[in-house]
Amino acid sequence: MPRLLIQNVDAITLDEQNRVLKNTNIAIEGKRIVAVGEVPQGFVADETIDGHDHVALPGLFNAHTHAAMSLQRGWAEDLPLDRWFNERIWVAESALTEEDVYWGAALAACEMIRGGTVAFADHYFWMHQVARVVEESGLKALLAWCVFGLGAEQEIGGTTLERTVEFVAQYQNAADGRIKTILGPHSPYICSPEFLRRAAEAAAKLGVGIHLHVAESQGQFDQSMREHGKSPVAHLAALGVLDVPTLAGHTICVTDEDIAILAEKRASVVQCPKTHLKLAMGTTRVPDLIAVGVNVALGTDGAASNNDHDMIGVTRLAALAQKQARHDPEVLPSMQALKLATQNGARAMGFGDSGVLKAGAAADVILFNFNRPHLRPRHDLAANIVHSARADDVAYNIVDGRVLLRNGELTTLDEDKILHEAEKRAFRLVGQELRMVREYKA
Amino acid sequence: MPRLLIQNVDAITLDEQNRVLKNTNIAIEGKRIVAVGEVPQGFVADETIDGHDHVALPGLFNAHTHAAMSLQRGWAEDLPLDRWFNERIWVAESALTEEDVYWGAALAACEMIRGGTVAFADHYFWMHQVARVVEESGLKALLAWCVFGLGAEQEIGGTTLERTVEFVAQYQNAADGRIKTILGPHSPYICSPEFLRRAAEAAAKLGVGIHLHVAESQGQFDQSMREHGKSPVAHLAALGVLDVPTLAGHTICVTDEDIAILAEKRASVVQCPKTHLKLAMGTTRVPDLIAVGVNVALGTDGAASNNDHDMIGVTRLAALAQKQARHDPEVLPSMQALKLATQNGARAMGFGDSGVLKAGAAADVILFNFNRPHLRPRHDLAANIVHSARADDVAYNIVDGRVLLRNGELTTLDEDKILHEAEKRAFRLVGQELRMVREYKA
């Protein structure tokens, strides 16, 4: 098995003691970290990385995104949620082809690898094309084929429940275990109760979970109360959806009772702070969720609202947005914010062996180059990463022991070709008369 | 005069028609832009920059900062404002030497040039040392020597009103006109009314303005009502401070009457959104200020609260924070946010010939490299800069026609030496028993 040694590096371990180690070593064998600290006797590395003035961190987990929406970056600006959906997103997506999804996801993959993301939870269409990108790029992913349950004539992207069930069965643990799958009914505000119940049953039978959008706005909350007499979370619980492992995107408008349900059902909630700020959606109640033991992770959401796949930026915004919303500068300190972005995401996505630097953990490691004026002085390495670092400071991105970014150079993807092809397709996608398939109300 | 030509570049002009020009040219002679579009006949460039896949924007103006506080980056984390001041900032600053200010400001200058900032409004101590950095770096600046007016024994950093008056007289229009000066009484919550009145009189006599901190918290607002029977803004107006050109930092807690006063007195207000979010201070009422014609600019504030000098990041946060605070995703669209960060800052800082790409304007121009996955596709160049770009995408930074950053390389500063020396001084500054000079209440 290939052996990789990172020498003389500072390491934010995110272990149970929150240890920050100065001038240490990380030894990797195959897909595993075998030592942090002393290099094991007789360990001969195939590749050695000089870690001087670099800081190692467990790799970042983007726990809610729609990677191929990078094609719509900058295409739906400064709009309220209903116009954002009806005039832009669902119009462009109705012209989406399989190949568009491949190139859009590949564009996102370039960006994610460069920014220290090691895994992404993707929720979109034509997901075998995203699986292709995962296989080629070396990233990890939890893939959900989004399905609306509206009947064939209103669907886009090949979505039927049967098709997505087939996808799960075919791709679970593909790409040498780097691909995990999950069912992806869109949301309780689009999917019918009967459809959600069927999706939950299918997930239980397949032994997978469900990834969906929950309670993104007061309008959605009110609609749920009107139509079902229950909050979105209570509605999902009543349908049995939360009885399978649930990845609940956004989850902004929740009551105290909803939070208790999420805790009891062991759901994971994904805050997407940039989308929430940009579309003025409010703030996920992260401290309240954490207080009762809900697993809270972070995501970028798609680039049509978030405008990038920068998990460093999202981690910073998560901390800033919580401090502001709670009127409390002590909320979500840097070390905790980093855990949300790493090990909590890993747990939410079924990669529980990642998110910590210690012997036995998955070798998902990123290195920041601290030879940058905005990262000096080094009074507090965690604060410097959360509040000063940028995606571009990531010099190395290592996934399952494989170097995907080496000193700023991508090793697996042809970036020039991807930039060109993705942009060409993006211009076509937004440039024609398009068929609209549904309307967002609420 | 040296001639510089930027060829085949896309340009966000920020002119009155908000023109975005594709594949155009920018011709510079000496300190001025002489043409945007057709290259003048007979124009022979000393240096030509290939602008393919790059986007030109007027340079960024950081209208409120304390550059040398970069030495305290990461030193006062996750604390409320009173503990932030009393346990950290004012303690460390009591040990500050002149040379510390030089190296701290130099560290900030490296970061600012790299991130597309062409000018900064600095408010700190030992300002002749900051002037040294401005001269050496090629940046522009509006410099204020901060003064508390508490009496010699309580001062740090050589601050007395007489000393700062002398500084203004000596440095106004130094560094070939790149340095402008302004008086810097700290704030109405620290300075006595009598001292503020004297400062305003001195400023009027010198023909300069006043740069100070205004209404940063509800506590300060309440204190002002208690002690003076007036809001901070009304108090400053009554003392005559607003009768000279005023640069009002933060200015968060204001009434509708305060906003009318600021408009009538033609004050400039500087929102520092990252500090405001991180210390949970609230949100400057930017749309209300703009509605009545107040000139609103943006600043990073010092790195002890903002943690960097990244004006791209601040521009994005300004837009995001306003959308969230107003529950309105249409507030502060990208083109307007860019104007706050450029021409409004220029106007606030007395460089009114900057902040636009057109013939006759100052040649303060930055170029973004759009050959990056997070900047494609190019549906909306302004949105891509505000919501997707990062400081590291700035490839060229040109101030008064001089190239300070050339394809990512600093041309005027010795970055390696500055990183080393600044960090050494930063560790000394926070590592010893220190004398505290005042207490923040409110």
pLDDT digits (tens, 9 = 90+) for B174-224: 999 999 999 999 999 999 999 999 999 999 999 999 999 999 999 999 999
Backbone angles phi, psi at B440, to 5 degrees: -90, 120
Residue B87: what pLDDT?
Answer: 86
Residue A191: what pLDDT?
Answer: 95
Residue A436 predicted with pLDDT over 70 = no
Query: What ipTM describes this predicted complex?
Result: 0.96
Backbone angles phi, psi at A278, to 5 degrees: -65, -40
- Report percent pLDDT > 70 for chain B: 97
Measured between beta carbons, the chain B residues lying within 8 angstroms of A391 are: 374, 390
Partner A contacted by B53 (CB < 8 A): no
Residue B435 predicted with pLDDT over 90 = no
For the ranges A75-79, A143-147, B140-144, B411-415, the lowest mean pLDDT is seen at A75-79
Confidence band, pLDDT 50/70/90 cuts, at residue B85? confident
Which residues 254-283 on chain A approach chain B with CB closer than 8 angstroms? 274, 276-280, 283
Measured between beta carbons, the chain A residues lying within 8 angstroms of B392 are: 390, 392
Under an 8 A CB cutoff, do A74 and B415 touch?
Answer: no
Exposure on the CB side of residue B384, measured as CA atoms within 13 A: 27
DSSP state of A326: T
Amino acid at A425: R
Bridging pattern class, strands A402-406 and A394-399: antiparallel
Within 10 angstroms of residue B86's Cβ, the number of other Cβ atoms is: 16
Q: Record the pTM.
A: 0.96
Tokens read off for B391: 């400081």
For the ranges A139-153, A220-234, B14-28, B202-216, the lowest mean pLDDT is seen at A139-153
- Better-predicted residue by pLDDT, A433 or B251: B251
Measured between beta carbons, the chain B residues lying within 8 angstroms of A280 are: 323-324, 326-329
For the ranges A8-17, A368-377, B127-136, B152-161, the lowest mean pLDDT is seen at B152-161
Measured between CB atoms, which of A78, A303, A379 is closest to B73? A379
Residue B7: what pLDDT?
Answer: 98
Q: What angle do CA A352, A353, A357 make, to 5 degrees?
A: 125
> Using a CB cutoff of 8 Å and minimum separation of 24, what contacts does B224-233 make?
B224/B188, B224/B189, B228/B193, B231/B255, B231/B257, B231/B258, B232/B188, B232/B189, B232/B258, B233/B258, B233/B261, B233/B262
What is the mean predicted confidence (pLDDT) over A135-145?
98
Distance from CA of B309 to the nearest CA of A (A): 7
Partner B contacted by A321 (CB < 8 A): yes
Q: Domains of chain A, with CATH numbers?
A: 3-58+356-409 (2.30.40.10), 60-348 (3.20.20.140)
What burial letters (b/e) apply to B292-316, b meaning 16+ CB within 10 Å?
eebbbbbbbbbbbbbbbbbbbbbbb
Distance from CA of B239 to the nearest CA of A (A): 32
Under an 8 A CB cutoff, do B374 and A309 touch?
Answer: yes
CA A61/CA A300 separation, integer angstroms: 10
CA B75/CA B70 separation, integer angstroms: 10
Measured between beta carbons, the chain A residues lying within 8 angstroms of B373 are: 70, 107-108, 110-111, 114, 415, 418-419
Under an 8 A CB cutoff, do A310 and B374 touch?
Answer: yes
What is the mean predicted confidence (pLDDT) over A74-93?
87
Which residues 400-419 on chain B approach chain A with CB closer than 8 angstroms? 415, 418-419
Residue B255 predicted with pLDDT over 90 = yes
- Angle between helical axes of A415-430 and A98-114 (0-180°, round to 10): 130
Confidence band, pLDDT 50/70/90 cuts, at residue B100? very high
Within 10 angstroms of residue B173's Cβ, the number of other Cβ atoms is: 10
Contact yes or no for A215/A167 (Cβ under 8 A): no
Under an 8 A CB cutoff, do A377 and B71 touch?
Answer: yes
- Tell me the pLDDT tens digit for each residue of B6-21: 999 999 999 999 999 9
Residue B171: what pLDDT?
Answer: 98
Residue B116: what pLDDT?
Answer: 98
CA A224/CA A215 separation, integer angstroms: 9
Residue B193: what pLDDT?
Answer: 97
Partner A contacted by B108 (CB < 8 A): yes
Measured between CB atoms, which of A307, A377, A419 is closest to B388? A307
Question: In Å, how far are A258, A365, B355, B393 from B384, measured between CA atoms?
Answer: 37, 29, 19, 11
What is the mean predicted confidence (pLDDT) over B107-112?
98
Amino acid at B359: A
Partner A contacted by B82 (CB < 8 A): no
Confidence band, pLDDT 50/70/90 cuts, at residue B41? very high
Residue A42: what pLDDT?
Answer: 96
Partner A contacted by B385 (CB < 8 A): no
Interface test mutation site (partner B, options A218, A324, A420, max chain B beta carbons within 10 A):
A324
Interface test mutation site (partner A, options B283, B317, B379, max chain A beta carbons within 10 A):
B379
CA B378/CA A388 separation, integer angstroms: 27
Tokens read off for A205: 């039978």
Under an 8 A CB cutoff, do B78 and A329 touch?
Answer: yes
- Tell me the pLDDT tens digit for each residue of A273-319: 999 999 999 999 999 999 999 999 999 999 999 999 999 999 999 99
Measured between CB atoms, which of A107, A324, A383 is closest to B376? A107
Distance from CA of A360 to the nearest CA of B (A): 31
Residue B256: what pLDDT?
Answer: 98
- Tell me the pLDDT tens digit for each residue of B47-57: 999 999 999 99
Q: Sign of dihedral through CA atoms A142, A291, B81, B284?
A: positive
Q: Which residues contact A293 (CB under 8 A, 6 or more apart)?
A: A263
Tokens read off for A403: 């170097």
Average pLDDT across chain A, whole number: 95
Residue A439: what pLDDT?
Answer: 65
Within 10 angstroms of residue B42's Cβ, the number of other Cβ atoms is: 5
Residue A305: what pLDDT?
Answer: 92
Q: Which residues contact A17 (CB under 8 A, 6 or more apart)?
A: none
Confidence band, pLDDT 50/70/90 cuts, at residue A430? confident
Under an 8 A CB cutoff, do A390 and B388 touch?
Answer: no
Residue B432: what pLDDT?
Answer: 57
Under an 8 A CB cutoff, do B320 and A317 touch?
Answer: yes
Measured between beta carbons, the chain A residues lying within 8 angstroms of B309 are: 374
What is the mean predicted confidence (pLDDT) over B393-417?
98
Residue B151: what pLDDT?
Answer: 74
Measured between beta carbons, the chain B residues lying within 8 angstroms of A283 are: 324
What is the mean predicted confidence (pLDDT) over A50-55?
98
Partner B contacted by A88 (CB < 8 A): no
Q: Provide Rg for chain A, Cα atoms.
A: 21
- Tell me the pLDDT tens digit for each residue of B283-318: 999 999 999 999 999 999 999 999 999 999 999 999
Measured between beta carbons, the chain A residues lying within 8 angstroms of B277 are: 320-321, 323-324
Under an 8 A CB cutoff, do B378 and A71 touch?
Answer: no
DSSP state of A234: H
Exposure on the CB side of residue A346, measured as CA atoms within 13 A: 23
Contact yes or no for A214/A186 (Cβ under 8 A): no
Helices H, strands E: what count in chain A?
16, 17
Contact yes or no for A14/A33 (Cβ under 8 A): no
Confidence band, pLDDT 50/70/90 cuts, at residue B393? very high
Residue A432 predicted with pLDDT over 60 = no
What is the mean predicted confidence (pLDDT) over A146-155?
78
Residue A153: what pLDDT?
Answer: 60
Interface test mutation site (partner B, options A384, A388, A414, max chain B beta carbons within 10 A):
A388
Query: 3-state SS of chain B?
Result: CCEEEEEEEEEECCCCCCCEEEEEEEEEECCEEEEECCCCCCCCCCEEEECCCEEEEECEEEEEECHHHHHHCCCCCCCCHHHHHHHHHHHHHCCCCHHHHHHHHHHHHHHHHHCCEEEEEEEECCHHHHHHHHHHHCCEEEEEEEECCCCHHHCCCCCCHHHHHHHHHHHCCCCCCCEEEEEEECCCCCCCHHHHHHHHHHHHHHCCCEEEEECCCHHHHHHHHHHHCCCHHHHHHHCCHHHCCEEEEECCCCCHHHHHHHHHCCCEEEECHHHHHHCCCCCCCHHHHHHCCCEEEECCCCCCCCCCCCHHHHHHHHHHHHHHHCCCCCCCCHHHHHHHHHHHHHHHCCCCCCCCCCCCCECCEEEEECCCHHHCCCCCHHHHHHHCCCHHHEEEEEECCEEEEECCEECCCCHHHHHHHHHHHHHHHHCCCCCCCCCCCC
CA A107/CA A419 separation, integer angstroms: 7
Backbone angles phi, psi at A192, to 5 degrees: -75, 155
Partner A contacted by B371 (CB < 8 A): yes
Interface test mutation site (partner A, options B12, B73, B415, max chain A beta carbons within 10 A):
B73
Name the nearest CA neighbour of B75 among B67, B66, B84: B84
Contact yes or no for A25/A36 (Cβ under 8 A): yes
Backbone angles phi, psi at B254, to 5 degrees: -130, 150
- Tell me the pLDDT tens digit for each residue of B149-168: 887 656 677 788 999 999 99
Residue A152: what pLDDT?
Answer: 65
Where would I find the beta strands (DSSP E) of A204-267?
A: 210-214, 246-250
